[in-house]
């Protein structure tokens, strides 16, 4: 839904869809981790996680390569180009999201479908999260998490915007944003 906000430029719509995306991302990443855990054992977890990250980071390569070629020989990011790019990206996103319908139910090593046996109240989950957050190991990891958040915020928004709006980069500075994203994607995949 976030991509849809770029079809009709509106600050309110952009901020609203950003909030929806943030909420949805929290649910999606939690569900992804749970699904990966339920469908993996100790011998397949590394492989499955690696495959997931490779597919996830391929979007940086493919999406930015598409935008790079869509902006080829264009001095300006006009409305028709913007709508074309975002319509294609929305279509790909809808297709990718619909693939979730094809995911299998988690199966245990005995061949039976995994079912939830234990349910924990919401309040208890919050208490468990708080106590985990305050452990020594998590306090040490929080420093890394904080830095990762700052880094992600920088390269996902500030860095690419700086390239796109720097006039000294030449008339194709918008195209260089996509090229920058492509190289960031390569870096993400290679580690």
Q: Which is higher by pLDDT, 24 or 163? A: 24
DSSP 127-190: HHHHHHHTSHHHHHHHHHHHHHHHHHHIIIIIHHHHHHT-GGG-TTHHHHHHHHHHHHHHHHHH
Q: How far apart are alpha carbons 176 and 164 in whole angstroms?
A: 7
Tell me the pLDDT band of 111, cut-offs 50, 70 and 90. Answer: low
Q: What is the pLDDT of residues 127-144, one digit of tens each?
A: 998 999 899 999 999 999
Percent of the chain with pLDDT over 70: 94
Q: What is the pLDDT of residues 157-190, one digit of tens each?
A: 788 778 777 777 777 777 888 888 888 888 878 8
Q: How far apart are alpha carbons 6 and 13 in whole angstroms?
A: 9
Say whether pTM exceeds 0.75.
no
- Crossing angle of the two packed helices 45-70 and 11-38, in degrees rounded to 10: 150
Average pLDDT of the chain, as a whole number:
84
Q: What is the mean pLDDT of residues 69-82?
A: 83
Tracing tokens 């909030």 back to the chain, one arrives at 19
Q: Where are the domains of the chain?
A: 39-190
Q: What is the pLDDT of residue 109?
A: 60
Tell me the pLDDT band of 103, cut-offs 50, 70 and 90. Answer: confident
Q: What is the mean pLDDT of residues 80-104?
A: 89
Is pLDDT of 87 > 90? yes
Q: How far apart are alpha carbons 108 and 104 in whole angstroms?
A: 12
């Amino acid at each position: 839904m976030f991509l849809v906000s770029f079809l009709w430029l509106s600050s309110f719509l952009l901020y609203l869809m950003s909030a929806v995306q943030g909420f949805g991302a929290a649910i999606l990443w939690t569900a992804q981790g749970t699904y990966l855990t339920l469908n993996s054992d100790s011998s397949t977890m590394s492989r499955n996680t690696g495959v997931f990250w490779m597919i996830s980071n391929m979007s940086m390569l493919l999406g930015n390569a598409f935008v790079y070629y869509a902006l080829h020989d264009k001095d300006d990011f006009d409305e028709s180009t913007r709508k074309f790019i975002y319509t294609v990206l929305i279509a790909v996103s809808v297709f990718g999201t619909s693939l979730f319908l094809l995911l299998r139910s988690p199966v245990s090593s005995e061949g039976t479908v995994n079912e939830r046996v234990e349910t924990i109240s919401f309040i208890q989950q919050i208490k468990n999260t708080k106590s985990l957050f305050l452990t020594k190991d998590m306090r040490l990891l929080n420093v890394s998490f904080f830095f990762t958040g700052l880094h992600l915020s920088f390269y996902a928004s500030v860095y690419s915007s700086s390239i796109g709006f720097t006039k000294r980069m030449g008339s194709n500075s918008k195209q260089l944003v996509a090229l920058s994203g492509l190289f960031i994607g390569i870096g993400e995949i290679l580690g």
